[in-house]
Structure 1
Amino acid sequence: MGSCKNQEEEQAKCVWVQGPVIVGAGPSGLAVAACLSEHGVPSVILERSDCIASLWKYKTYDRLKLHLPKHFCELPLMGFPENFPKYPTKYQFISYMESYASHFSIQPRFNQTVQSAKFDTTCGFWTVRTLDFEYISRWLIVATGENAEPLIPEITGMDKFHCPVIHSSVYKSGSVYKNKRVLVIGSGNSGMEVSLDLCRHNAIPHMVARNTVHVLPREMFGFSTFGLAMALLKWLPLRLVDKFLLLVANFILGNTDQFGIRRPKTGPIELKNVTGKTPVLDVGALSQIRYGKIKVMEGVKEITRNGAKFMDGQKKEFDSIILATGYKSNVPTWLKGCDFFTKDGMPKTPFPNGWKGENGLYTVGFTRRGLLGTASDAIKIAKDIAGQWRTAKDSRNYCNSHIVLLKNS
């Protein structure tokens, strides 16, 4: 049992958890904890930050709104307040999650960064270590998600640039960039929205579109594009739905190739299912590109002291660089001795079966299907563990008095 059998000061820090240990107090961790509580199964959430939904609170820009209508973004067992708009703001979403945690009496243990988690084949339990404690449980639920850490690309010459370089995770508002020339690297949803926000604060954004990307209107014929696609998929083949979406998108937005935004050959839904690459849902950036307010650039060849050289031979000077280059999973840094995840920290088993591993290991929030995927995973996991919980013998006395009994935290 590791440190449980060692010195007294270590013994006092060993915590036996009756139910699962959940790593991460974002939407995924909260959803699975709520679903478990409905089955009468206690759990302990370990959160590295000092609050729930820390990614939403600390690493999103001020103008962020949900890209999908609220009914597609609800967590299990509790919907959004009726007075919330169709597309809630980030602050409304945070308040919803806080209400959700309160409603289900979820109280994560904050400032508990998991340093390692490993299954002990000898005793059949997971040992989850933080700086202060060692948690022992029959089940481990990985809820740290696909977006745990900023993805910082290696770009030649970046160390030479003498002006500020930030990742979009620390970008809040374009108000500090007024009249400044800003290079935004990345043309996904974050790159588009940061560029749009810069425009609205009278900055001069240049957005790098190195890769192909699908841009779709957020709504078609008054309906959510996503919702419309989901409805059509019940009746039509995926590729036919993709063709329909692109036909309408070209009618509403025009041919994006003429603006330097090249579409992939694979359709938007098929691409999302195969690679996880999400289409951009346009909320106004494309019109700013059309009017020349956002300038689209080809790939960056090299960063210089004062700006950048591009693949097409252009050279430009900039006052700032914003990396809208996305996020990555951090699971490989702390989950040890487990072959369930790829080196990129994603389940090797594709959706919809990537939620369960071996030896009591579960994952929630790794479906590449947003909060809908999270809700689906949380419900399955809670049902599966509840079945084991009901039939399992009481293991609260597994360890002796060296272990602190944590009844429900």
Structure 2
Amino acid sequence: MGSCKQEDRRDHDEFNCLFVPGPIIVGAGPSGLAVAACLQQHGVSSLILERSDCIASLWQQRTYDRLKLHLPKQFCQLPLLNFPHYFPKYPTKRQFVSYMESYAKHFSIHPKFRQSVLRAEFDALTGLWTVQTQDSHFFSRWLIVATGENAEPVIPEIQGIHRFRGPVLHTSVYKSGSEFEKQRVLVVGCGNSGMEVSLDLCRHNASPHMIVRNSVHILPREMFGVSTFSIAMLLIKWLPLRLVDKFLLLVANFTLGNTDKLGLRRPKTGPIELKNATGKTPVLDVGALSQIKAGKIKVVEGVKEITKNGAKFVDGQEREFDSIILATGYKSNVPTWLKIFELSFSSQGTDFFTQDGMPKPAFPMVGRERMDCMRWGSREEASLGHHRTHGISPETLLINGG
């Protein structure tokens, strides 16, 4: 390893072999920035590798214009630096990006951009991680994965979609409903993105038809003037999870009505229990449900196949559309490049991930070979704690958040 150079003395060679004295952090999203800041507060330097050309690339490059935080700002601010006091309760996309840029500047965090990690592998003999990008090899004792669950868009296989004459796009490239004014738009998916895109289309005089393929929990964003998330977090401290779910559903049915009658069937498992078990997030309604009730957003059960000019549905109906938007979510890409010791990738994934990149075990957890997995839950939990900073242990920290 003698030919490797300290990261802060690297030359810009065509190919570099670099030793990093502190942890390597993969991902310059909110979690990556938060980890770097917390480590810095304990005197630990780090290096962030980011595949795009900016911090928080998901927010800057792959979100629609009308996006706001679904949760109150106090639950979304990063550790050690609050949102500006003048930000609204639910900051906009631009405000959140501005906050993260200010955060990076405040803590002098300078990620290495355009560094796409191709492979990360641990060498038990040297006790070092080798992280390979397109033009460099980085070596460090510690690896922190902070790429989140939304690295790659999920593109479903739908029969006949290649025959469709109009545009087909994923919500990762959707910006505004103004581009679809007076169009008939088929929206595939009814999660938070599907609901918000349908609402945005509706407000720009388009005619959205939203495909609901699976059951879905819809909750009001606020209950009694307080955010639903705040209420849930408070109740979880004192009540069993199932009782909290029952309360949330009781209030949701009272305020929103029976969503089953609108073609939006609820899962049998409660919203929080389902989120913990599968990672599936409940929809927080920001106005789409009223448009569904008014008939301005059409709910359709499922698509059988796509035709040249539209779609055939499972109920036998056929309709014409001008555009198709895939609100089918994202997946993690970590299993494609993180080589976890002797673990092999099977049809079931690894000990830590399912095949689509979702974490298998409940968080937080510690796995074999000193691998640790955690999910940001609050600013206090995000402070990493002395056992994760002073000792910089374990060798691998997987952050389940982007």
Contact 1:140–1:362 at 8 Å: present in 2 too?
no
Match of 1:175 among 161, 178, 181: 178
- Supply the AA of the counterpart residue of 1:254: G
- Deviation of 1:376 (Å): 5.9
Q: 1:287 matched to which residue of 2?
A: 290
Distance in 2, Cα, partners of 1:193 & 1:28 = 24
1:19 to 9, 22, 33: 22
CA contact (8 A) 1:141 1:363 kept: no
1:126-137 aligned within 5 A:
126-137=129-140
Q: Does 1:319 align with 2:322?
A: yes
1:211 aligned to which of 181, 205, 214? 214
Closer, same or farther: CA 237–185 of 1 in aligned 2, 3 Å: same
Structure 2 residue 66 is the aligned partner of structure 1 residue 55: no
User: Alignment partner for residue 361 of structure 2, among 345, 349, 361?
Assistant: 349
Specify the alignment match of 1:103 in structure 2: 106
Match of 2:377 among 372, 376, 398: 372
Tell me how far 1:304 sits from its aligned partner.
0.8
- Once the two structures are superposed, the pairs formed by residues 174-323 of structure 1 within 5 Å of their partners are 174-323=177-326
CA–CA separation in structure 1 for the residues paired with 2:15 and 2:175: 42
Cα displacement (A) at 1:26: 0.3
Q: Are the counterparts in 2 of residues 142 and 362 from structure 1 also a CA contact under 8 Å?
A: no
Unaligned 5+ segments in structure 1 are 391-409
Match of 2:43 in 1: 40
CA pair 12-205 structure 1, distance change in 2 beyond 3 A: closer
Q: CA RMSD in A?
A: 2.3
Kept after mapping to 2: 8 A contact 1:116/1:130: yes
Deviations 1:3-23 (A, max 9, x none): 859xx9989711110100000
User: Does structure 2 retain, via aligned residues, the 8 Å contact 1:48–1:114?
Assistant: yes
1:388, distance to aligned residue in structure 2 (A): 2.5
**Equivalent-residue separation in structure 2 for 1:233 and 1:389 (angstroms):** 31
Q: Percentage identity across aligned positions?
A: 69
Q: 1:387 aligns with which of 385, 390, 396?
A: 390
Aligned residue in 2 for 1:407: none
SS in 2 for 1:18: coil
Q: 1:127 to 1:357 in 2, by over 3 A?
A: farther
Deviation at residue 246 of structure 1 after TM alignment: 1.2
TM-score (norm 2): 0.89
* Residue in structure 1 matched with residue 78 of structure 2 by the alignment: 75
Shift of 1:360: 6.2
Q: Counterpart in 2 of 1:405?
A: none
Q: Secondary structure at the match of 1:170?
A: coil
Match of 2:346 in 1: none
CA contact (8 A) 1:3 1:11 kept: no
CA distance in 2, matches of 1:231, 1:136: 43
Select the structure with the greater relative contact order (CA < 8 A; seq sep ≥ 6). 1
Asked if structure 1 preserves the Cα contact closer than 8 Å seen for 2:42 and 2:390, the reply is: no
CA deviation after TM superposition for structure 1 residue 348, in Å: 3.8
SS of residue matched to 1:388: coil
**C-alpha distance after superposition, 1:359-398 (max 9, x if no partner):** 565556xx3xxx536x566433x633433259xxxxxxxx
- Contact 1:17–1:137, Cα closer than 8 Å, also in 2: yes
Name the CA distance, whole Å, in 1 between partners of 2:392 and 2:239: 41
Does the 8 Å CA contact 1:34/1:106 hold for their aligned counterparts? yes
Gaps of 5+ in 2: 6-10, 344-350, 394-402
Please identify, of 35-44 and 9-18, the stretch whose mean Cα deviation from structure 2 is larger.
Answer: 9-18
Question: Partner of 1:98: helix, strand, or coil?
Answer: helix
Q: TM-score, normalised by structure 1?
A: 0.88
Q: 1:66 to 1:268 in 2, by over 3 A?
A: same
Using the TM superposition, give the Cα deviation of residue 268 of structure 1 relative to its aligned residue in structure 2, in angstroms.
1.1
